[in-house]
Amino acid sequence: MKALLIRVFGSSVTIDFERTPEGISCQTYRLTRGNDRYYLRVAEELHEDLSVDADIQRRLHQAGAHVPDVVHVERFDEGLQRSVLIMTEIAGVSVAKITSAEVAVHVVRDAAADAAAINAIEVDGFGWLDRRRPGWPPRGQLASYGAFVESGLPEAGIRRERLGRLFSPDHLDRIEAIISAEQVRPVAIARLAHGDLDATHIYCDGASYTGIIDFGELRGAEPEFDLGHFLLDDCDENPTPLFEHFLAGYRDAASKTLNVRLNLDDDQIRRSAILHGFRQLCGWLQPERGLESRRSLVRPRAERLADLLDGV
């Protein structure tokens, strides 16, 4: 690590680094160089090239989006045996920590414009980004939306067995109907999704929005994916209901600032939230992953999905 940092920043100023507490699979380090702070991300897999992510973040930053700017990227660092990406800091704290409802509402409305800018980028294919092949547009690992819908889901009989105790038979039937309908919905073009967009990843300094962080779960998805994720996690981290304000800011930015018509439908956003939440549950309940590590999340997530199914 030290050799990499000296190569990038030089040796005139000491650089301290520490692993951030957030994230398990994605290694991220906080770098402190004098009064400046940066973040270093290490690719999860040996074959991944973070220049794919760097290209996306550079383009967004140059277009005026409040996202971390790229300081340095290496396709493969011999010392770490991984691709690495060094980024500038987004100052402040997450909206999850804001106690003022007025401030939280103001900040997420501003953040929605950047979310719309992210989602305006087209992806060639669906699912996790293919980080083996840098280029533009970014590429997804799956060829169709139907394949993306069922990605991460076990067979229908297995998922009913595993999740039967969490849902009523009626709710399970309705979830299966959503899966079936989404598999044949004609979504021809994938949009770039942040992939984990909620209050914890939107930052502010005082009452001013400063940016969106954590681009480790980028993927190609349906246009409603990030909105559905935000809806799914609304009130999880901040007790103030923020989704309607986020959606209002998003619609305004998409139609005016970006001149993009996404034809967003409230019911479709809710279906996207349900589908994503169900995928999460199926992943958490895989026998090889073990229920114990996710026990505190499973029941609340199932209850949230039941509320969404009932239109609450």
HSE-up (13 A, CA, CB side) for residue 32: 7
Nearest alpha carbon to residue 118 among 38, 186, 26, 190? 190
State mean pLDDT over 290-294. 55
Q: In the chain, what are the helix, strand and coil shares in percent, each to the nearest 5?
A: 45, 20, 35
The full DSSP string for 139-188 is BEEES-HHHHHHTT---HHHHHHHHTTTS-HHHHHHHHHHHHHHHTS---
DSSP E strands, the chain = 15-19, 27-33, 36-42, 70-77, 82-88, 93-94, 122-123, 126-129, 140-142, 190-193, 202-205, 208-212, 219-221
CB 289 within 8 A of CB 162: no
Residue 134 tokens read as: 């840098």
**pLDDT number for residue 287:** 79
Distance, CA of 152 to CA of 60 (rounded, Å): 29
**pLDDT number for residue 261:** 58
Tell me the pLDDT tens digit for each residue of 103-154. Answer: 999 999 999 999 999 999 999 999 999 999 899 999 999 999 999 999 989 9
Q: Characterize 26-53 residue by residue with b for buried, 16 or more Cβ atoms within 10 angstroms of its Cβ, and e for exposed.
A: ebbbebebeeeebbbbbbeeeebbbbbb
Contacting residues for 152 by C-beta, under 8 A, at least 6 apart? 279, 282, 283
Nearest alpha carbon to residue 311 among 260, 282, 269? 269
Percentage of the chain lying above the pLDDT 90 cut: 80
Across the chain, what does the average pLDDT equal?
92
**pLDDT number for residue 24:** 47
Tell me the pLDDT tens digit for each residue of 185-231. Answer: 999 899 999 999 999 999 999 999 999 999 999 999 999 999 999 99
Tell me the pLDDT tens digit for each residue of 46-92. Answer: 999 999 999 999 999 999 999 999 999 999 999 999 999 999 999 99
Contacting residues for 31 by C-beta, under 8 A, at least 6 apart? 5, 15, 16, 17, 37, 38, 39, 40, 86
Q: H or E stretch including 273?
A: helix 266-284
Q: In what order do the strands lie in the sheet with 126-129?
A: 122-123, 190-193, 219-221, 126-129, 140-142
Contacting residues for 303 by C-beta, under 8 A, at least 6 apart? none
Q: 261-268 long-range contacts, Cβ below 8 Å, gap at least 24?
A: 262/119, 262/223, 264/223, 264/224, 264/227, 265/224, 268/224
Nearest alpha carbon to residue 282 among 114, 157, 123, 100? 157
3-class DSSP state of 294: helix
The pTM assigned to this predicted structure is 0.93
State mean pLDDT over 232-260. 87
